[in-house]
Amino acid sequence: MEDDTEVARSIAIPRLTRSRQANHSSSAAANGNTDTNTIINNPNAGMVVTRIEDILGQIIEALAAGQELSIPFSARRLSRRAANAQPEEVHFPGRNQQEAVKFARILLILQLSHDALVSGTILTKRHIFYQHQDLFEKQGQVDDLVDDIAFTLGVGRGDLNIVAASKGVLAGPLTIHLHDGSTLNPCSGDLGVAIPTVQSISSVNVQSIKWVLVVEKDAVFRSLCSSQFWQTSMFGPGVLVTKAKGFPDLTTRSFLNYVHTRHPQLPLLGLCDYDPDGIQILRCYRYGSERLNHEADLGIPALQWLGITSAHLSRDHAGTSLRNYESPSQVPITSIQCRDPVTYLTGRERATAISTLKKIHQYSPNDFEVSELRRELQVMTLLGFKAEIEWLDDAGNLCSWLDGEIGEALISDAF
């Protein structure tokens, strides 16, 4: 036990004492230079630096007095279970090895965040893990602690100048200007470019954009990019956005919220599978994540669900609504041109649907978008069916189907 504690002490204490000296010089330099945050724009940097320095100062005082060290810490999951949960503390050397190591990990992240805030740079959680594998056994430990520290300080993760490595990608004729003076052109590559953090963006030019399509699946996104649908759509140029796998990450959601806040007239459209996971992803884009509910409101309730919905499962060929535009007939997903258009829900998916229905009850029952999600989940659970958007792509009908659906959405927005 003593040996393990000494390992944690050797990791934490020397860095703390060195950092405290560096903090004074860094802060002094920052005070003499009003252009410290030249790479990103973080309006809360000063507040967060002050809170971190208060914690570091208390540790230094306890260290000088020979007292046990402590850091205030509140885990998000515990606070969700108990609304009146009191802030906890992590001590060093603590009750056991686990607490000593946890203290060292939290202290390191606080120091790295402080340095990034003072220098105006951004750290990724992935960078923290790979640069400090002597302290972290797996990436998830960094991820959880960063979010818990932000929760403890009462700020968002981005306010720590620590972000997740970009997982979102976008393609289309928009121009993104960054604070460092560089420019991103998402239509220059075959498969788009990584979405930058909002803190690094100075402005986004969407002058020629008619729509933004958020795609759940990376495979569908790649297919649309290869056909340059963002350029060839009959309803004008648009932007394709995807988060490669799983639920939307904070960077992607922040970017979409940034664009929508500054350009509310620009239609945001969602393309998801007709299954409980697809609806969960759409719900996350619209209303945010329970796991990160301490973050600033990044929801986009205005995100329209383009498909797939239950209506597409029963639409027949005569139901085309764009014949006035001389477009190809809309292809229903149940067309004989599609292979195996629907499959049965699994037990896990049924459980996910029921869980999502319960969560949706917390939203306004009079909200049309909320009613839409609830209705589709109820129909899906009753029928026991699901459908994936790739089937349209397999049949070669995805682009024409999207043209029809985007046209309907744009026309409805005009009235």
Closest CA to 229 of 215, 216, 246, 243: 215
Residue 206: C-alpha distances to residues 239, 266, 320, 343, 406 (Å): 9, 9, 30, 39, 18
Sole residue written with tokens 């140029």: 237
No. of H helices and E strands in the chain? 15, 15
- Tell me which residues of the chain have a pLDDT lower than 70: 1-41, 77-87, 189, 244-245, 290-297, 315-341, 363-366, 391-396, 414-415
Residue 339: C-alpha distances to residues 5, 62, 333 (Å): 61, 68, 10
Q: Please provide the DSSP assignment of 235-291 as one string.
A: T--EEEEEESSSSPPHHHHHHHHHHHHH-TTS-EEEE--BSHHHHHHHHHHHH--ST
To which H or E segment does residue 391 belong? Answer: helix 390-394
Whether omega before 93 lies within 30 degrees of 0, making that bond cis, reads: yes
> CA dihedral in degrees (48, 195, 235, 311; nearest 10)?
-80
Closest CA to 159 of 45, 37, 256: 45
Is there a contact between 166 and 253 (Cβ–Cβ < 8 Å)?
no
From the list 130, 258, 274, 363, the catalytic residue is: 130
| Interstrand relation of 343-344 and 385-386 (parallel, antiparallel or unpaired) | antiparallel
pLDDT of residue 341: 57
pLDDT of residue 36: 31
pLDDT of residue 365: 59
pTM for the whole structure: 0.70
Can you give the length of the chain in residues? 415
- 233 contact partners, CB below 8 Å, separation of at least 6: 210, 211, 399, 402, 403, 406
DSSP class of 387: B
| Interstrand relation of 343-344 and 268-271 (parallel, antiparallel or unpaired) | unpaired
Cα-Cα end-to-end distance for the chain: 70
pLDDT of residue 255: 92
Closest CA to 93 of 62, 128, 134: 62
pLDDT of residue 110: 96
Our answer to whether residue 130 is catalytic in this structure is yes
